[in-house]
Amino acid sequence: MLRKNYRIAHISDTHITKHGQFDESIFNMGLEALDSLSPKPDIVVHTGDLTDNGILPDYELAMDKLKSIRYRYIVAPGNHDERNYGHSIFKEMLGPLDFEKDEEWAKFVVLNSPEPDRDEGRLGRRRQIYLEEVLGSTPPGKLKVVVFHHHLVPVPYSGREVNVLEDAGDVLEIVLQNRVDLVLMGHRHVRHAIRIDETVLVNAGTFSCIRTRGRFLQSFNLIDISADGTVKVTEVDIRTREERVLKCFQKV
């Protein structure tokens, strides 16, 4: 890992649409909260369900909303984005469903975990091989960040467990064997952070969907990686802008 402090703003599950579960006022408040951050994030990572229905008007509205993000950002596809043949529009407007992004200080590997018109997710053998190859060729010293929508391990407070990745065991083994620094996920609308071996796994809550769980309301995560390898995960309440440290993981 490079000797520099890094900050990732981790958002998810915006569910943008003209009708349905999208709260536009909360989304705008979230943008204001992002703008007011100090220090500023190096990048914003959206871990899927950008849209609610995967239809063209949702994507058109979403692309208009994304213009207001003042930082570099990457977006992973979610299961709602792939509804109604929506993955074709995702590719047209946002780019590939699976891709790598090289930053000076990090390698992001973004993977398409949904399957069209299903809530369940899986990566499958082809993506597992792709992930192994990319991680294996990442230069030493770079932060390794894997990004997909579905959760790799069960998330507390999120109800009955039905949507963990179908091939979670194999994917987790690849992640751990390749000493991935961060895995960023969404899907369950509940923030969570846990470390397994040397890998920190982080779920974001919903950024702007009205379908919240209990008193876990709309929020996003800040992930600060210090020069000494410490990883601090903080939840930001969008309504109040209160910052609550979820976990602080010292370097293994």
For residues 200 and 152, the answer to whether their CB atoms sit within 8 Å is no
Q: Decide if 243 is inside a domain.
A: yes
Is residue 190 situated within a structural domain? yes
Domain that holds residue 42: 6-249
Q: Number of helices and strands (H, E) in the chain?
A: 5, 12
**pLDDT given for residue 163 in this prediction:** 80
Q: Is residue 46 part of a domain?
A: yes
| 124, part of any domain | yes
Quick one: pLDDT at residue 252? 66
As for how many domains the chain has, the answer is 1
In order along its 252 residues, the chain shows pLDDT tens digits of: 445 789 999 999 999 999 889 999 999 999 999 999 999 999 999 999 999 999 999 999 999 999 999 999 999 999 999 999 999 999 999 999 999 999 988 999 999 999 888 888 999 999 999 999 999 999 988 999 999 999 999 999 988 888 889 999 999 999 999 999 999 999 999 999 999 999 999 999 999 999 999 999 999 999 999 988 899 999 999 999 999 999 999 986
First to last CA, the chain: 13
Answer yes or no: is 171 within a domain.
yes
CATH code of residue 35: 3.60.21.10
DSSP string covering 47-98: -S--BSS--HHHHHHHHHHHTT--S-EEE---TTTTGGGHHHHHHHHT--SS
Query: Are the beta carbons of 166 and 122 closer than 8 angstroms?
Result: yes
Q: Are 111 and 123 in contact (CB under 8 A)?
A: yes
State how far the Cα of 201 lies from the Cα of 182, in Å rounded to an integer.
6
Amino acid identity, position 5: N
pTM for the structure as a whole: 0.96
- Domain presence at residue 92: yes
Q: Judge whether 1 lies within some domain.
A: no
